[in-house]
Amino acid sequence: VSAPDLDARVRLRAFEFLEEQTRILGDVLPHRVLKEGFLFEGTRVHLVSRQGIFKPAILPEIPLTITTAPTLPGKPPPYHDFLGDDGFLRYRYRGNDANHRENVGLRLAMARKVPLIYFRGIVTGEYLARWPVFVVHSNPMALTFTIAVDDMRYLGDPSPPESDTAVQLRRAYHTRLTYERVHQRTFQRQVLLAYQERCAVCRLHQRRLLDAAHILPDTHPRGEPVVPNGLALCKLHHAAFDGNILGVRPDLKIDLKLHLLDDADGPMLEHGLKDFQGGILHVPRPASLRPDRGLLEERYALFRKAG
């Protein structure tokens, strides 16, 4: 087998593996799944190591994955990980030596237009996976690469051939979606972990039935995607909260609009909603993770005003 052929086959198998995993687990994958990787003709191929730029031993020269560590709650994101003015991601070189093996490897990926995988840390031990991504620019002075996210459907030789502008626009679009997804997922996972994956109203502990609700919606100027503006709520209580049927007083007392729930309508209404009237919201112990009182006040005023 020639080297380029082996490289392409391992890469495609890696994409398939991630496709399978995200179908089962969603687009945020645990580190152990990436660490364990997959078997390729009897050889184990890991997808991550302790280094950000990673080339498994089976591949001849070009790295397979690039990883960014998660941002800790309340901390600014690492300076090297941001969206540039061109709408593409920036990724820092390994170390300060532009000619380090891993940096040379990524420049080779750029020259040969080889697709890579991007893992973006969401919270400790959990990564959003995106592929294919391409290195589209390298800046040795700033020690940064420019990374564009693309769509698997366009991998290979398109027929008819696409214009550079079309490729550029499509990649800018997918990169933007990825960036938004990272922020959305980070908020979700940070909130759910702060609440130990339980609904703040009913304590339901079913990850698939839980959401991270915004206290002030993200359309509001103060509706930031941060834990103090979040509540872990089950689907029912999230919908009731967003629909202003269930409100939370600034002292964390639960307030239900019982007049909207007048009908005697069986156990779900009785136990799922009415029973919580006057109860206290279960919130995280650390003060930094609790709902912000000012945000709750503002939201409670909206709840009162709503019909």
Tokens of 143: 């020690």
Give me the count of residues in the chain.
Answer: 307
> In the window 161-200, what residues touch Zn ion (CB under 5 A)?
199
Instruction: Annotate each residue in 217-236 with x if it binds Zn ion (CB under 5 A) or - if it does not, as one string.
Output: -----------------x--
Round to whole Å and give the CA distance between 156 and 133. Answer: 13
Task: Work out whether 202 is an interface residue with Zn ion (CB under 5 A).
Answer: yes
Round to whole Å and give the CA distance between 271 and 246. Answer: 14
Instruction: Annotate each residue in 112-141 with x if it binds Zn ion (CB under 5 A) or - if it does not, as one string.
Output: ------------------------------
Residue 122 beta carbon to Zn ion: minimum distance, rounded to whole angstroms: 23
SS3 state of residue 43? strand
Which DSSP helix (H) or strand (E) runs through 259?
Answer: none
DSSP 183-235: HHHHHHHHHHHHTTT--TTT----GGGEEEEESS-TTSTT--SSGGGEEEEEH
Is the Cβ of residue 106 or residue 204 nearer to Zn ion in the bound state? 204
Tell me: cis bond preceding 132? Omega within 30 of 0 counts.
yes
SS3 state of residue 46? coil
Instruction: Annotate each residue in 233-252 with x if it binds Zn ion (CB under 5 A) or - if it does not, as one string.
Output: -x--x---------------
Is the Cβ of residue 126 or residue 211 nearer to Zn ion in the bound state? 211
Size of the site for Zn ion (CB under 5 A): 6
Is the Cβ of residue 70 or residue 284 nearer to Zn ion in the bound state? 284
Residue 195 beta carbon to Zn ion: minimum distance, rounded to whole angstroms: 11
Site residues (vs Zn ion, CB under 5 A): 199, 201-202, 204, 234, 237
